[in-house]
Structure 1
């Protein structure tokens, strides 16, 4: 795996080439997958909810190196499950292994369990959501067309207002951290060009705002991402947020309808640490998505 095997004491992440995206330098170590990952890896759903380790922590010996790291990691499909949804846009996994899946083309949100080669529906709701996350109490937070996040009781399926309100903006992507903070991406209703506000906020468990990210040091907007990239193609796109072991926030930001994007790196103290330009989706992948939307989706 190239430079992943070098260095007995200190590893410079930028010297490590990503296994999945060979032209990209790595920026984090995924302790869950036991591998180095690059900015493009962050834009995918593969590492959502994983324990991501920064270079300083890694080199301080806070990560125990595993033998598996020195052998090539091959991704294989171990199991497939067919759903009755046309699309799977968003997924959240509960502690009991059940899942909540959203099909926004049909405004469907399902709570399912995996049975043999199919999903069994526990609860089906007629609603469109823009973001979803599992709380530490095993309930589900979702964002809708309202300014206040909704909470779903995973036992009863009841939807209630949460304590998280971002009025006058509208919440989109959400992420719950290991220390119970809630990171929310919020926007105005305008799309591209981005003339409205685009903000990332961090809240505590009581819904009190701890930090806000909106402008850089030159007072220019940090983020671009619209709720729907185009109304004609009806391609639903979602911005992802995640954080590392030291609290750095990584925000995937869509720049335009050609799927150019970047990863915005934010510090827990409110500073902007940097930007990493990426191509979020290739033309081939876009064609696959357009084709895949009209067939029964498969969980793998």
Structure 2
């Protein structure tokens, strides 16, 4: 933005945009984008058409006012010669008078400026979340780099110890020392390869995030409203990339312990523990929403960022979507839910009281029975391992039987965990299930009515 410069600064002084004399610039008209002297402000600009409606600021305020977007000149994509006049929240598009008359009369309509502000706030919020994610990965990257440096220092130290001891007994145990160094080198390379593998994954992730953050900022900085809404439409389709999962700890190079002349005392490599990236973890509330339900038992996120919430005590299941600080109810069912989860195909799977078969709600909102039948049990909890496999925790109070059942997508039972090798019951009342990266199944088993319980771990070999 042009501003008057003092004489002698090496730049040509800015003249009045109306009289073009050397009178001191004192004012700027935001609507006309003209710099003016006091004389022209009072004598010339005041005679402009609609001059009383123009916004004029002092010279000192130039730079404090950002140029406002023109929302009156956005052409309608559907109707030639028409200009958008409103924004339809229901359809998430700009509409002109013809659009309004034909389609959008009963829809939720707001001013274009208000829609712009909502979209900018949304972009800033997502940008902030991405920046936090980028910052977290940067901290983890720094910690892993420290581990690499520490491991190199340790490696060099142990190598010097081996070489020092080797000089004392070199003639007798030269071959053994050579084997020790080869083994140490191999362990060292293995350690670094695992750490660097995670570093590479983080570097790729952060590079992608920086690109997206800049893309969001470029969209926010657009001065053309039409271009802005076109770019926002593209960005809103962007799916967040999951943060890479790094190892909680890393194997460390073995430590060299000196010995005497014979092979058993010359020295050996001993395990010296694991490398650990100690990162301070803090939990921060990013968003908070109000609901009319008195309690929430389960929450499951859908692909469209809506989510299912359940109040088991009050037999209420709702699909909701955030609107400001509140939750808009999209659909509601009055059923007693014991457990639920959303499948990769965006279907909600439910454990419903009194049903031996899992129930399902499609993305269109239809409640039907699924192919997953656990008779004679009643399902209590669900965990989806992949698109082709899920795990059900089931219970039958009358039979006093409980089981954890692995099923494929056709509903076939691939494994049933009910009794141990001594034919004793494994579970009392399985309530929650998850799996770890090594394939182990972790089950929270309720063993009394006062919510005392235990955690059972099932290995892939079907051992407990």
Task: Using structure 2 for the length normalisation, give the TM-score.
Answer: 0.41
Corresponding residue number in structure 1 for 2:407 = 203
Residues 141 and 149, structure 1, Cα contact 8 Å, conserved in 2? yes
2:313 is equivalent to residue 105 of structure 1: yes
Which stretch shows the higher mean deviation, 71-80 or 100-109?
71-80
Matches within 5 A, 1:33-48: none
**1:121 is the counterpart of 2:329:** yes
Return structure 1 stretches of 4+ with deviation > 4 angstroms: 4-9, 50-55, 57-60
Which of 422, 432, 456 matches 1:240? 432
Contact 2:403 2:416 in 1 (8 A): yes
Compute the displacement of 1:269 (Å). 3.4
Asked if the contact 1:241–1:251 (Cα under 8 Å) also holds between the matched residues in 2, the reply is: yes
Residue of structure 1 equivalent to 2:358: 149
Q: 1:97 to 1:136 in 2, by over 3 A?
A: same
Aligned alpha-carbon RMSD (Å): 3.1
Q: Report how far residue 119 of structure 1 moved.
A: 0.6
The answer to whether the 8 Å contact 1:202/1:210 transfers is yes
Equivalence for 1:295: none
Q: Which residue of 1 aligns with 2:443?
A: 251
2:454 corresponds to: 262
Secondary structure of the equivalent of 1:73?
coil
Shift of 1:51: 9.4
Greater RCO, CA 8 A, separation 6+: 1
Contact 1:170 1:189 in 2 (8 A): no
State the partner residue of 2:295. Answer: 87
Distance 1:131 1:8, change over 3 A: farther
CA deviations over 1:27-75 (Å, ceiling 9, x no partner)? xxxx9xx9xxxxxxxxxxxxxxx998888x9659xxxxxxxx5331111
Alignment deviations for residues 257-280 of structure 1 (CA, whole Å, 9 cap, x no partner): 3432211000233221xxxxxxxx
**What corresponds to 2:425 in structure 1?**
221
Are 2:394 and 2:429, in contact at CA under 8 Å, matched by a contact in 1?
A: no
Task: Check whether the contact 2:344–2:387 (CA below 8 A) recurs between aligned residues.
Answer: no
Count of equivalent residues: 206
Distance 1:166 1:205 in 2: 14
Structure 2 unaligned regions, length at least 5: 1-143, 153-197, 203-242, 253-276
Answer yes or no: is the 8 Å Cα contact 1:53–1:244 preserved in 2. no
- Determine helix, strand or coil for the equivalent of 1:100: strand
Larger gyration radius, structure 1 or structure 2: 2
Deviation at 1:104, TM superposition (A): 1.5
Q: Structure 1: any 5+ residue segments left out of the alignment?
A: 10-30, 35-49, 61-68, 227-238, 273-300
Cα separation, partners in 2 of 1:199 and 1:158, compared to 1, 3 Å? same
Distance in 2 between the 1:198 and 1:167 partners?
A: 11
Between Structure 1 and Structure 2, which shows a larger proportion of helix residues?
2
Question: Could you state the TM-score of these two structures normalised by the residue count of structure 1?
Answer: 0.62
Residue 82 of structure 1 deviates from its aligned partner by 0.5
Which residue in the other structure is 1:76 paired with?
284
Higher strand share: 1
Distance 1:54 1:168 in 2: 40
| Secondary structure class of the residue paired with 1:177 | strand
Structure-2 change in CA distance of 1:170 and 1:51 (3 Å)? farther
Aligned to 2:390: 182
CA pair 51-187 structure 1, distance change in 2 beyond 3 A: farther
CA contact (8 A) 1:248 1:268 kept: yes
